[in-house]
Structure 1
Amino acid sequence: MDLLANLALGFSTATSIEHLVYCFVGALLGTLIGILPGVGPTATIAMLLPITFTLSPTASLIMLAGIYYGAQYGGSTTAILINLPGEASSVVTAIDGYQMARRGRAGPALAVAAVGSFIAGTFATLLIAAFAPALALVAIEFGPAEYFSLIVVGLVCSIALAHGSVLRALAMVVLGLLLSVIGTDVYSGLPRLNFGMIELFDGINVIAVAVGIFGVAEILRNLAGNVKRSGEINKIGRLMPTRDDIKRSTNPVLRGTAIGSILGILPGGGAMLSSFTSYALEKRLSKTPERFGHGAIEAVAGPESANNAGAQTSFIPMLTLGIPSNPVMALMLGAMLIQGIAPGPSVINERPELFWGLIASMWIGNLMLLVLNLPLVGLWVRLLKVPYEALFPAIIIFSAIGTYSINGNAFDLYQISMFGILGYVLYRLKCEPAPLLLGFVLGPLLEENLRRAMMMSRGSPVTFFDRPISLGLLLAAVALLAVSVLPMMVRRRKKIFVEDD
């Protein structure tokens, strides 16, 4: 009964005119950026983060969430029609979806992708509603030692599941942690590592970091010639799948939903890893694996369901534990901090309208996306004809104005530029910036819980090992890090991420 009462509260909040408008805006923007290669939800949310300062907390999170899971829908459209994934998680969809389009079956591929995503999104939303409160109740029992160990596990997961070298990912986490300590010591009030610059007394602006390494750096990367914007657009044809298509797609949708729901919770997992795992599983279970790569509809249904479920269940650790599982969740955590909301298990009890309103809005947003994606496919495809050179000046100006408007400090614009250059350098060095952002956002939480635990234990580090939950989490982190550097796992990581590199 409590669940029904909470969902009723959520739907009453999400169905207000203001929240419906922002849910629609988020879903629409998410579809747009999913279709346009070279933009992506992380960069877009980073650039829109300053605007959330002027919105209510619930409205801002509903809009940002809509952008994230909406991008998973939009990315499949161009992946199927012109073999150009708008999102990294749609890379797998392009393999067989494009082959279907070449045979005049783009319509069924798009329909199955949209319906599968809706089913997966609905199940993932119910999963959040059912299990997030219970997880939050467990989290309330956590002390500083357990939170420290949990954050360590989250950072190790982001290393293990990042692209490329484990050593590079570890270096990015360490760099993020180092950047997070710049500013003023929380306990002593003394400035540290600010090089005597007054502008850094409050630390580095999280919005400047996000906009720089994801927004500006992505623009520099695209202008360097890494994004292709041309291609032969295939005819869509009839949208309705055949009875055989439905039969072949049903089990992959269910399996993809289960895979995405599980992997989405893991820090660093989320939508992309879910879609790759689903594709590999469907190919292994198929009685005719030779069809894969030549237009198998199962290879569209499974990964598309998996990436949408993974995108939505990634909200669980962020909402209940205050631990972001990917860069987008880190930015949403930043949006909560901007609004003065302390992330963690207390959100459910202290701000129930925000928590349950966000969950209800996910189901509404998925329904909006189902309606948006199929009838308006022709409109989305026309957007591909817009030259990127015409988009990037507007993106830069919008980012600069939004960031400056928060504090009215010109130094924030210098920070954007600096981190934009840093982000591009990291890309050239094949260092993924996502672990850096996670380290930067989680750094203050890691330090605070470390110091609190040490003060409570009178300076004894044994406190992290004589508490069963903390010890178990630390052992899990060590085991995960050890497994990720094994030769077999290194080869598997290269195989999984070869499409995205």
Structure 2
Amino acid sequence: MDLLTNLALGFGVAFTPINLLYCFIGVVLGTAIGVLPGIGPVATIAMLLPATYALPPVSALIMLAGIYYGAAYGGSTTAILVNLPGESSSVVTIIDGYQMARQGRAGPALAAAGIGSFFAGSVATLILAAFAAPLTEVAFKFGPAEYFSLMVLGLIGAVVLASGSLIKAVAMILLGLLLGLIGTDVNSGVARYSFDIPELTDGLGFIVIAMGVFGYGEIISNLGKHADERQVFTAKVSGLFPTKEDFKRMAPAILRGTALGSMLGILPGGGALLSAFAAYTIEKKTKLKPGELPFGRGNIRGVAAPEAANNAGSQTSFIPLLTLGIPPNAVMALMVGAMTIHNIQPGPQVMTSNPQLFWGLIASMWIGNAMLVILNLPLIGIWIKLLTVPYRWLFPSIVLFCAIGVYSTNNNTWDIWMVAIFGVIGYLFIKLGAEPAPLLLGFILGPMMEENLRRALLLSRGDWSVFVSRPLSAGLLGAALLLLIIVLLPSVKKQREDVFHEEEA
């Protein structure tokens, strides 16, 4: 009964004209900027944070939350249409979403992303409202050893996720882990692998690597081919919305992605990203039905599941923020900044001392998701018009928007040069037949893995058995080992090779 009373209070706050207006402004701004390659939710909120100073606290947080959803949604649009991840969790959407667009099925891909995101967001909001307090107990059980083991499981999952050669997939993960080491050592404060270049002391940016490897790499590859051979959208776009058969395949994938994202989202450290990768891995291990395209060739489940998991993970990541005061990712850290600006101390007391803010924000999430679907599904036709633009006009625009997006993050021309270098590296990956997605996962998880590994060893006074003596950590490492053994089994390995040859055919 208390839950219904609290939700009624929340919707009463969220449905006031001023809060509806700022929620709408947030999702529109977020979508508009999220569609531009390179400008994800973090950059968007960071740029617009000063604009919230003069707003009432509830309206400010509702607007920032709206920007978060809108930018994440815009990131999937860019991933599907022009093979550029707007944010880290859109990396997985590229694999099948871009292939669908090339086959003239950009409409169903965008619709699958929108519907999956809305359903997952609605379910995650209910979970946030009902289980915020009990679910934080799960997060409390995760110490440094458990986080390290979880990330090992995530990296093993990336090997399963990669098509083709296992050696190449492992090599890409290791390269990503090595790139993640560049920067300043958190414990000692000493610069590592920076070669006395001041710009490298802060490390490499995710956006720089993602834009270079995916965006510029694809452009260089296409420019190196004859106009008739370029991997651009030559197929006629047929149907803006998914067919009945698509819905049949999407529905279970969305349910699985939502469940997985809701669970992983509450864990500090890349919940939405891990959710998207884990959801795609599970879909890839689920048996293909007759007539269904293989993964990596435009399977709609490969778009719906990660997008649902990503959105569910994004929303449940508010749980540690609102209940413990711990920001689980960069966006939530900015939300903490916004709350502090308005003299609100994030943590358990928010629920009791400021219930209008707590429940109003939760109710606004559902409204924000509904607004996104109402706004974006009719816009699918407009986004698809991008595909009719001749490539000679399209590629300079993509290069320009990437450069603007990367420059605006740090206001530094160094980043633009780095994107160009990683563009050449991305082109080499295409020539070598190596998938860049595992590299990005290794790059993002690397610093977090190192931090948790060192913290666990410090707490255990250098005793490595801490990773197997704690039941939860041992269970996660056991699952990772089991997954690795299954992938290396001769029969499974042969199936992977067969699928890889099918995909290349």
TM-score, normalising length: structure 1: 0.68
Whether 2:176 is the aligned partner of 1:176: answer: yes
| Cα displacement string for residues 183-214 of structure 1 (whole angstroms, at most 9, x for unaligned residues) | 22222222222222232222223332233223
Whether 2:235 is the aligned partner of 1:231: answer: yes
Query: What is the deviation of 1:498?
Result: 7.2
| Cα displacement string for residues 207-238 of structure 1 (whole angstroms, at most 9, x for unaligned residues) | 322332233334334444543223345588xx
Q: Indicate if the aligned counterparts of 1:53 and 1:339 stay in contact, CA closer than 8 A.
A: no
Residue in structure 2 matched with residue 329 of structure 1 by the alignment: none
Change beyond 3 A, Cα 1:115–1:453? closer
Distance 1:122 1:340 in 2: 23
Residue in structure 2 matched with residue 312 of structure 1 by the alignment: 311
Residue in structure 1 matched with residue 155 of structure 2 by the alignment: 155
Query: What is the deviation of 1:355?
Result: 9.4
Change beyond 3 A, Cα 1:396–1:359? farther
Change beyond 3 A, Cα 1:114–1:189? closer
Change beyond 3 A, Cα 1:275–1:176? closer
Q: How many residues align?
A: 443
Distance 1:150 1:316 in 2: 20
The aligned amino acid for 2:423 is G
The aligned amino acid for 2:486 is V
Query: What is the deviation of 1:423?
Result: 2.2
Distance 1:462 1:72 in 2: 41
Residue in structure 1 matched with residue 48 of structure 2 by the alignment: 55
Match of 1:469 among 469, 472, 476: 472
Counterpart secondary structure, 2:449? helix
Query: What is the deviation of 1:360?
Result: 5.4
Whether 2:462 is the aligned partner of 1:459: answer: yes
Distance 1:362 1:500 in 2: 39
Query: What is the deviation of 1:269?
Result: 3.6
Whether 2:422 is the aligned partner of 1:419: answer: yes
Change beyond 3 A, Cα 1:489–1:317? farther
Whether 2:137 is the aligned partner of 1:140: answer: no
Q: Indicate if the aligned counterparts of 2:124 and 2:315 stay in contact, CA closer than 8 A.
A: no
| Cα displacement string for residues 23-56 of structure 1 (whole angstroms, at most 9, x for unaligned residues) | 13445677xx6xxxxxxxxx83557754443123
Change beyond 3 A, Cα 1:359–1:269? farther
Distance 2:247 2:400 in 1: 45
Residue in structure 1 matched with residue 438 of structure 2 by the alignment: 435
Match of 1:44 among 37, 40, 48: 37
Change beyond 3 A, Cα 1:74–1:355? farther
Alignment map for 1:71-470 (pairs within 5 Å): 88-90=95-97, 119=119, 122-123=122-123, 126=126, 134-224=134-224, 226-234=230-238, 254-262=251-259, 267=275, 269=277, 280=288, 283=289, 292=291, 306=305, 308-315=307-314, 333=329, 335=331, 349=348, 363-372=366-375, 375=378, 378-470=381-473
Alignment map for 1:27-38 (pairs within 5 Å): 27=31
Distance 1:26 1:279 in 2: 36
Change beyond 3 A, Cα 1:164–1:356? farther
| Cα displacement string for residues 79-103 of structure 1 (whole angstroms, at most 9, x for unaligned residues) | xxxxxxx9644589799997xx9xx
Q: Indicate if the aligned counterparts of 2:164 and 2:496 stay in contact, CA closer than 8 A.
A: yes
Query: What is the deviation of 1:315?
Result: 3.4
Residue in structure 1 matched with residue 28 of structure 2 by the alignment: 24
Distance 1:70 1:335 in 2: 16
Q: Indicate if the aligned counterparts of 2:213 and 2:422 stay in contact, CA closer than 8 A.
A: yes
Unmatched 5+ stretches in structure 2: 50-59, 83-92, 265-273, 322-327, 338-344
Bigger mean CA offset, 372-381 vs 383-392: 372-381
Change beyond 3 A, Cα 1:235–1:441? closer
Query: What is the deviation of 1:371?
Result: 3.4
The aligned amino acid for 2:170 is L
Unmatched 5+ stretches in structure 1: 34-42, 79-85, 284-288, 323-331
Residue in structure 2 matched with residue 37 of structure 1 by the alignment: none
Change beyond 3 A, Cα 1:364–1:222? farther
Change beyond 3 A, Cα 1:234–1:483? closer
Distance 1:355 1:217 in 2: 44
The aligned amino acid for 1:22 is G
Distance 1:152 1:415 in 2: 28
TM-score, normalising length: structure 2: 0.68
Distance 1:388 1:494 in 2: 33
Q: Indicate if the aligned counterparts of 1:155 and 1:438 stay in contact, CA closer than 8 A.
A: yes
Query: What is the deviation of 1:149?
Result: 1.5
Q: Indicate if the aligned counterparts of 2:151 and 2:449 stay in contact, CA closer than 8 A.
A: yes
Counterpart secondary structure, 1:201? helix
Change beyond 3 A, Cα 1:115–1:164? same
Q: Indicate if the aligned counterparts of 1:129 and 1:359 stay in contact, CA closer than 8 A.
A: yes
Q: Indicate if the aligned counterparts of 2:194 and 2:200 stay in contact, CA closer than 8 A.
A: yes
Distance 1:133 1:231 in 2: 50
